[in-house]
């Protein structure tokens, strides 16, 4: 079992975070285009619409790459003295994050390329849940650093092959 994350894993982590953040901030272009598509059957393409589609596909590819590395290499263990409930919460949050980081882009592609309102609705719901889980993940990392005084946060900053 590794003691830390590799440089590649750390770069993928922060890059995916930045791209997901950009998707939340710049989602209006795709929302407007999808509403036009549902209303009139046509849409006016915009750079923000294209950015949302291509960034979603990029996120999916990067997450798959990250999962492959994690499956091959494993992940560092949680602190030994951490309460079992916190370990369970951490594992559950990570599983849910990975699941949503795959399902949100897939549902977005089905919504857009399949013109599916149901997939769009699912995409919106999962997007909101993903945002909550990201906030929980950040809060958990900060609690680890400042309350529990562990090195968990530093593992995602400093490579340790």
Does residue 1 lie within any of the structural domains? Answer: no
Does residue 161 lie within any of the structural domains? Answer: no
Which pLDDT belongs to residue 42? 78
- Count up the domains in the chain and report the number: 1
* Other beta carbons less than 10 A from residue 66's beta carbon: 19
The answer for 76, left when phi > 0, alpha when psi is -120 to 50, beta otherwise, is beta
Residue 99 lies in domain: 7-156
Q: Which residues make Cβ contacts (< 8 Å) with residue 152, sequence separation at least 6?
A: 78, 79, 141, 144, 145
Does residue 100 lie within any of the structural domains? Answer: yes
Does residue 28 lie within any of the structural domains? Answer: yes
- Specify whether the CB–CB gap between 160 and 2 falls below 8 A: yes
Which pLDDT belongs to residue 27? 82
> Tens-digit pLDDT profile for the chain (161 aa)?
888 999 999 999 999 999 999 999 988 888 888 888 778 877 777 888 899 999 999 999 999 999 999 999 999 998 888 899 999 999 999 999 999 999 999 999 999 999 899 999 999 999 999 999 999 999 999 999 999 999 899 999 999 86
Does residue 12 lie within any of the structural domains? Answer: yes
Which pLDDT belongs to residue 79? 87
Which pLDDT belongs to residue 29? 83
Whole-structure pTM value: 0.92
Which pLDDT belongs to residue 1? 80
């Amino acid at each position: 079992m590794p003691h830390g994350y590799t440089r590649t894993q750390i770069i993928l982590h922060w890059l995916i975070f930045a791209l997901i953040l950009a998707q939340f901030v710049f989602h209006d272009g795709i929302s407007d285009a999808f509403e036009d598509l549902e209303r009139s059957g046509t849409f006016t393409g915009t750079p923000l619409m294209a950015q949302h589609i291509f960034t979603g596909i990029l996120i999916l590819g990067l997450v798959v790459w990250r999962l492959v590395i994690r499956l091959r290499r494993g992940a560092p263990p949680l602190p030994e003295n951490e309460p079992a409930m916190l370990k369970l919460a951490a594992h559950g949050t990570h599983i849910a994050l990975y699941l949503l980081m795959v399902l949100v882009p897939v549902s977005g592609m089905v919504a857009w390329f399949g013109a599916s309102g149901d997939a769009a609705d699912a995409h919106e719901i999962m997007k909101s849940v993903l945002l909550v889980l990201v906030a929980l993940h950040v809060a958990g990392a900060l609690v680890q650093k400042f309350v529990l005084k562990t090195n968990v946060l530093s593992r995602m900053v400093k490579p340790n092959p």
